């Protein structure tokens, strides 16, 4: 489990992204970041979650906030997901669940009495200086993006003190 603390620097990482580049969290300093972890591309709940973030993207951008999605899927699967649902933000491939472990979202799960390791749907809000502002773990998709938007609205404009 991770030792993430609100107010502390969010763990930096580097992952392959759907823009064909290696992307680091620190690349986005000066902008707020909504970092959401989801279990699998093209599944019902994950599609709904990603489409909800898609629909909020323009509003987030107006608040100097970028959205990044992370799952265990490959960049190629992410590209199909983006094309099918017109997602306007980067998806990052954490195929070895390294970043999932850093953020404490790679956990023991139970389904129908069977235990297995898996990704727990979670979202993190990181401010323009790279500090963790808010976290939502084990979320329900319905209404979640609205909660994230409300938290982003409370942040000072990026670059101001």
Strand 90-93 to 106-111 pairing: unpaired
156: which residues sit within 8 A by CB, 6+ positions away?
none
Find where tokens 């987030």 sit: 60
The reply to whether 2 falls in a domain is no
Is the Cβ–Cβ distance between 83 and 96 less than 8 Å? no
The reply to whether 5 falls in a domain is no
The reply to whether 3 falls in a domain is no
The reply to whether 142 falls in a domain is yes
The reply to whether 56 falls in a domain is yes
The reply to whether 1 falls in a domain is no
* Domain coverage including residue 38: 14-153
The reply to whether 53 falls in a domain is yes
> Of the given ranges (37-41, 58-62, 75-79, 112-116), which has the lowest mean pLDDT?
112-116
The reply to whether 80 falls in a domain is yes
Task: Provide the number of structural domains found in the chain.
Answer: 1
Is the Cβ–Cβ distance between 64 and 157 less than 8 Å? yes
CA 39 – CA 56 distance, rounded (Å):
20
The per-residue pLDDT for range 93-133, each reduced to its tens digit, is 999 999 999 999 999 988 888 998 999 999 999 999 999 99
Q: What is the CATH number of the domain that holds 76?
A: 3.40.30.10
CA 53 – CA 67 distance, rounded (Å):
8
Residue 46 annotated as catalytic? yes
Sequence-ordered alpha helix ranges (H) in 9-122: 44-62, 75-85, 98-102
Which member of 10, 25, 33, 46 is catalytic?
46
Please state, for a pLDDT cut of 70, what percent of the chain lies above it.
96
């Amino acid at each position: 489990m991770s030792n993430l603390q609100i107010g502390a620097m969010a763990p930096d990482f580097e992952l392959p992204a759907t823009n064909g580049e290696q992307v680091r969290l620190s690349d986005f300093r000066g902008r707020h970041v909504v970092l959401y972890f989801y279990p699998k591309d093209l599944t019902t709940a994950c599609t709904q979650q990603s489409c909800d973030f898609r629909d909020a993207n323009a509003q987030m951008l107006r608040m100097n906030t970028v959205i990044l999605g992370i799952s265990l899927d490959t960049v190629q699967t992410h590209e199909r997901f983006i094309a099918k649902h017109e997602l306007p933000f980067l998806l990052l491939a954490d195929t070895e669940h390294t970043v999932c472990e850093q953020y404490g979202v790679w956990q023991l799960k139970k389904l129908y009495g069977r235990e297995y390791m898996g990704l727990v749907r979670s979202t993190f809000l990181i401010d323009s200086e790279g500090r963790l502002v808010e976290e939502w773990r084990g979320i329900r998709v319905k209404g979640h993006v609205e909660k994230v938007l409300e938290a982003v609205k409370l942040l000072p404009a990026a670059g101001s003190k």
